[in-house]
């Protein structure tokens, strides 16, 4: 079963490993981005397969 969904934000997707390390300043910027776009991001990724592998890499590459 394929679930198609629309994202209300202009996002470009990146794939990658879920294993990484981040500097505190990067975490702070990422936290600000997530707070600003929380509902749109969470609504899009709620039923995703392996959402962490797309969500965090995508957020870092923005």
pTM for the structure as a whole: 0.57
Largest CA distance in the chain: 40
Distances (CA, A) of 39 to 23, 31, 52: 25, 14, 16
pLDDT of the residue at 35: 92
Domain boundaries, the chain: 24-60
Name the stretches of the chain with pLDDT < 70: 1-3, 5, 7-9, 11, 13-20, 53, 58-59, 61-62
24-36 and 38-45 helices, crossing angle to 10°: 90
């Amino acid at each position: 079963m394929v679930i198609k969904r629309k994202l209300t934000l202009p996002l470009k997707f990146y794939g990658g490993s879920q294993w990484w390390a981040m500097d505190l300043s990067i975490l702070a910027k990422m936290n600000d981005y997530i707070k600003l776009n929380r509902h749109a991001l969470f609504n899009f990724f709620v039923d995703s397969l392996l959402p962490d592998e797309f969500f965090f890499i995508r957020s870092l590459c923005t």
